[in-house]
């Protein structure tokens, strides 16, 4: 669970462990991911949530909220997204970094994302359609 919390924190706060990537008009956009999605989790000391809207043109806007030991932070990220060979990519305009996750459409209302295991973390999360 600590790995999950750490991974999500890194994803939403810092976009750490990301690789640089160029995005262009020729990128694939799995139509099943288009729309408004959300994810959230809560434990004794940390609450995290994110609502992301993915457009058909490959742009996204995400509203993020984190509450750690009573301190709340809200912020917005934006950029481009695409899919390729079973992987989901999200290029953040603010940081200039790109995250990469293996993704799966569980059903029309649920997506699964999994970061490839590494020495630093093994991270999975789910999004549900709003």
- List the helix and strand counts (H, then E) for the chain: 1, 8
Please report the pLDDT score of residue 26 as a whole number.
Answer: 78
Token reading at 74: 């809200």
State how far the Cα of 58 lies from the Cα of 4, in Å rounded to an integer: 27
Report residue 124's pLDDT band, with 50, 70 and 90 as the boundaries. confident
Q: What is the pLDDT of residues 1-29, one digit of tens each?
A: 444 444 444 444 333 333 333 444 579 99
Q: Are 58 and 83 in contact (CB under 8 A)?
A: no
pLDDT, tens digit (0-9, with 9 covering 90-100), for 72-116: 999 999 999 999 999 999 999 999 999 999 999 998 899 998 887
Q: Show Cβ contacts of residue 4 under 8 Å, excluding neighbours closer than 6 positions.
A: 41, 123, 124, 125
């Amino acid at each position: 669970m600590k790995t999950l919390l750490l991974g999500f924190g890194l994803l939403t706060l810092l976009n750490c462990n990301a690789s640089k990537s160029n995005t262009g008009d020729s990128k694939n956009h799995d139509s099943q991911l288009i729309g408004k999605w959300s994810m959230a989790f809560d434990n004794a000391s940390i609450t995290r949530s994110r609502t992301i809207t993915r457009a058909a043109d490959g742009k996204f806007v995400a509203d993020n909220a984190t509450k750690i030991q009573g301190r709340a932070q809200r912020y917005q990220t934006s950029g481009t997204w695409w899919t390729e060979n079973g992987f989901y990519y999200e290029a953040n305009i603010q940081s200039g970094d790109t995250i990469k996750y293996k993704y799966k459409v569980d059903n029309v209302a649920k997506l699964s994302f999994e970061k490839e295991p590494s020495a630093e973390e093994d991270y999975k999360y789910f999004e549900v359609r709003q």
